[in-house]
Amino acid sequence: MQDVIVYLGPSLSIEKAKRILPESVAEYRPPVKRGDLAVAVAKRPKAICIIDGLFFQDCSVGHREIMAALKSKIYVYGSSSMGALRACELDSFGMVGVGRIYEMYRDGIIESDDEVALACDPFSNEAVSDALVDMRINFERAVRGGVITGDERDILIRTASGIYYPNRTYRRVLKDARTAGEISGESFERLTRFLKEHPFSQKEEDAREVLRVVGDGV
């Protein structure tokens, strides 16, 4: 049996994850939901790593489930999405949070579950919308790169926040802001090109980081 059980979904592909933490060490399972951890704890792994989880379409993993794992002397790590949320809530009890998104929740920069929510294809588990927290970070990168202004960043974040998460995509956000006349045509074109030429996902970066941290610890 592997030392680590990893709950992983759209934040990082399984193929990329295995290059960091191979299957000889980690067993990869779909996004965690209520009841899954009791089964995992019964297998007595050294560590459980929560990256992705269900929380709108199904019951989310409960705090008591994670506490039960910790009381069983199993290390529990969280990052990227559901893992970052739960780590922020339970780090004082021993759950280990990893990555920038966890730090943003911990420091009160973001608060809502909606920040990391995505809609996924039920068959491939691939994301079909974009996470608000990734948009925040990419719009900030665009400001630093001189692509858009700080005021335009604020408008785009406000526009994205007003769109229900399954419908929230970069394309939709930019189109709505442009149609409302809140960003210029030049900014629309520059930002569209920037996002295409410089794709970045903090959720993916944090997933990579937690797998490296877990690998160093087992």
What does the pLDDT look like over 48-95, one tens digit per residue? 999 999 876 678 999 999 999 999 999 999 999 999 999 999 999 999
pTM of the model: 0.94
pLDDT in tens, 168-201: 999 999 999 999 999 999 999 999 999 999 999 9
Inter-residue long-range contacts of 168-172, CB under 8 Å, 24+ positions, other chains counted: 168/129, 168/130, 168/132, 168/135, 169/129, 169/130, 170/130, 170/135, 170/138, 170/195
Decide: 203 and 209 in contact? Cβ < 8 Å.
no
Considering only residues 2 and 44, tell me which one the structure prediction assigns the higher pLDDT.
44
pLDDT in tens, 125-169: 789 999 999 999 999 999 999 999 999 999 999 999 999 999 999
Decide: 213 and 20 in contact? Cβ < 8 Å.
no
What pLDDT is stored for residue 125 in this prediction? 77
